[in-house]
Amino acid sequence: QIGPGLLRLKGTVRTHFNDQFMIIQGVRRHVTFDYNHSGWPSENVLVVIGRDIEREVIDSLLGHILSLKNKEMEAEICQK
């Protein structure tokens, strides 16, 4: 959990369960998802702007995002 140090989150992520990229955008504790994007590059990109956030926490968040199915991800991330 990143917590209140998160100022901005933005990225394109391909989960292990989906062949389409998902766009993730967030400001503080508000996170939105858009799922209908195919044809994007093959790598995942996640930009995090914040303060007092350890690299290990960000790596853990990305790993967690990649392990969830789309609807699980939305429910899980939006609760934190």
**CATH label of the domain that carries residue 24:** 3.30.1220.10
Structure tokens belonging to residue 68: 């969830």
| Residue, of 4 and 2, whose pLDDT is higher | 4
Strands (E), 5-58: 6-14, 21-27, 30-37, 45-50
Task: Provide the pLDDT confidence category of residue 52 given band limits of 50, 70 and 90.
Answer: confident
Q: Which domain holds residue 23?
A: 3-79
pLDDT at residue 75 in the model: 59
Mean pLDDT score across all residues of the chain: 74
How many structural domains are present in the chain? 1
Average of per-residue pLDDT across 41-67: 81
- Residues 13-40 have pLDDT tens digits of 776 666 667 788 888 777 787 776 666 6
